[in-house]
């Protein structure tokens, strides 16, 4: 899976921004522990 990150230069690296963190928390409240669905709704991550 690591090599896929190198093949996709659009993948964001580094720390999560405060607005992304808020989005993650809202989606977690809405969807629960369905992390694959949450990850699909975070652009570039």
1 alpha-carbon distance from chain centroid? 15
Asked whether residue 25 is assigned to any structural domain, the reply reads yes
Q: What angle do CA 26, 40, 42 make, to 5 degrees?
A: 55
Asked whether residue 45 is assigned to any structural domain, the reply reads no
| Residue 10, pLDDT above cutoff 80 | no
Q: Any idea how long the chain is?
A: 45
Q: What angle do CA 8, 40, 9 make, to 5 degrees?
A: 10
Asked whether residue 10 is assigned to any structural domain, the reply reads yes
Find the domain containing 23 and state its range: 2-40
* Total domain count, the chain: 1
φ, ψ dihedrals at 4, nearest 5°: -65, -35
Number of alpha helices (DSSP H) and beta strands (DSSP E) in the chain: 3, 0
The pair of structure tokens assigned to 6 is: 């190198």
| Residue 4, pLDDT above cutoff 70 | no
- Residue 2 confidence (pLDDT): 66
Which tens digits make up the pLDDT trace of 16-34? 999 999 999 999 999 999 9
Asked whether residue 7 is assigned to any structural domain, the reply reads yes
* pTM given for the model: 0.70
On average, the pLDDT of the chain sits at: 86
């Amino acid at each position: 899976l690591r090599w896929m990150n190198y093949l996709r230069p659009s993948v964001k690296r580094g720390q999560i921004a405060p607005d992304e963190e808020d989005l993650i928390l809202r989606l977690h409240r809405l969807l629960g522990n369905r992390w694959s669905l949450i990850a699909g709704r975070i652009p570039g991550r």
